[in-house]
Amino acid sequence: MKLSSQKVVVCGGGGFIGGHLVGQLLKDGIDVIRSVDVKPLTGWYQVHRGVENVTADLKDINACHAAVEGADVVFNLAADMGGMGFIENNKALCMLSVLINTHLLMASKDAKISRFFFSSSACVYNGDLQQNPDVVALKESDAYPALAEDGYGWEKLFSERMCRHFEEDYGLQCRYPRYHNVYGPEGTWTGGREKAPAAICRKVLEAKISGKHEIEIWGDGEQTRSFMYIDDCIKGSRMIMESEIHEPINLGSSELVSINQLVDIAEEIAGVKLKRNYNLKAPRGVNGRNSDNTLIKEKLGWEPSITLRDGLKKTYDWIETQIGVPATH
CA distance 196 to 220: 14
Establish whether 45 is a catalytic residue: no
SS3 label, residue 246:
coil
User: What's the start-to-end Cα distance of the chain, in Å?
Assistant: 35
Residue 285: closest CA among 250, 258, 312: 258
CA neighbor of 270 nearest in space, from 326, 225, 309: 309
**274: closest CA among 282, 283, 266?**
266
Nearest residue to 106 via CA among 62, 55, 154: 62
Contact 60, 103 (CB under 8 A): yes
Q: At what angle do helices 152-170 and 98-110 cross, to 10 degrees?
A: 20
Distance set, CA 15 to CA 51, 193, 242 (Å): 15, 12, 22
The sign of the dihedral angle between the CA atoms of 38, 41, 45, 50 is positive
Rounded Cα distance between 318 and 313, Å, is 9
Which one of 45, 125, 152, 179 is the catalytic residue? 152
Instruction: Report, as residue numbers or ranges, the catalytic residues.
Output: 152
